[in-house]
Amino acid sequence: MEPNPESILLTGRTALVTGAARGIGRATALALARFGADVAVCDRLGEELEQTVAEIKALGRLAPSAVLDVRDTDAVHSWITELSDEWDHLEILVNNAGGGFHSPVMEVNAKGQAALIAENFTQVVDVTRCCVPLLAAGAIGPQGFGGASIINITSVEAHRAGPGFGIYSAMKAAVANMTQTLALELATQKIRVNAIAPDMIPTPGDGFLTQESEALSGTTWAQTPWPETGHAGDVASAAVWLAGPMSKFVTGTTVHVDGGTLASSGWKRPLDGGPWVL
């Protein structure tokens, strides 16, 4: 397929985005809808999810929704089963839901550890497992979209140490690895599997962002090599590309939307414009 201006459109496709009430999830759900997809959404934040649903519908798209905790496997399975009665296929799945808290690994108790694992890894596998039959149907559907796409939102922390966020980082690394494995296992069903690894993205109510801002307050170092702050829309833009046919030969990879953080590898940019230092 030769790319053209129509190639980026997602008209007629169906998508599911977890954690769509705010931040990256909300921005991604709305971006997919703006490019033509109907978008099913879920989150445990009911009032904010309603706002996302209203905005998707205002774009003329369908927006089935559920208020649920993705760590509740039974609730996820029940909703996707219900969704399958309305939609007999999916072309796009965005596993966005996740989160955590700051604590040295040795100070995380058993309950907290289990919660971090469930929220950042286990539920990604569970949601994917529930959706694969619908994605397989979408991949071979009559509209000729050339395959389905799973997009896992990981983190730059999946690719480096995460002091204070060790279990969170380890689970994001597990998702990055699982992304590669599923890309191979699902290839024959024409389901592509990729990940997006952002650095800190401003999100209302996100404790990570507050802690990062406090840590940098009063320092002379920039948060990222790129001189502008990243936003949820930057991640959503990458998701739109991975969702559509322009990336139809891309699978098993991670797109780093981090303003150069991973590439910096310890190099720091002074805010006063001085030379980079290690």
Name the residue among 268, 108, 106, 261 with its Cα closest to residue 198. Answer: 261
Tell me the whole-structure pTM to 2 decimals: 0.91
Q: In what order do the strands lie in the sheet with 14-18?
A: 65-67, 38-43, 14-18, 92-95, 148-153, 191-198, 254-257
What are the catalytic residues?
A: 168
Instruction: Give the dihedral sign, CA 26/224/192/245.
Output: positive
Distance of alpha carbon 1 from alpha carbon 146, whole angstroms: 10
The CATH superfamily of 8-206+229-263 is NAD(P)-binding Rossmann-like Domain (3.40.50.720)
CA distance 212 to 210: 5
Write out pLDDT tens, residues 19-53: 999 999 999 999 999 999 999 999 999 999 999 99
- CA 102/CA 29 separation, integer angstroms: 28
Question: Given this model, what pLDDT does residue 9 score?
Answer: 93
pLDDT along the chain (278 residues), means of 10: 85 96 98 98 98 98 98 97 96 96 94 96 97 93 74 93 92 97 97 95 64 56 80 96 94 94 78 69
Q: What is the pLDDT of residue 21?
A: 98
pLDDT in tens, 128-174: 999 999 999 998 865 556 799 999 999 999 898 888 999 999 999 99
User: What does the angle CA 104 – CA 257 – CA 223 come to, to the nearest 5 degrees?
Assistant: 55
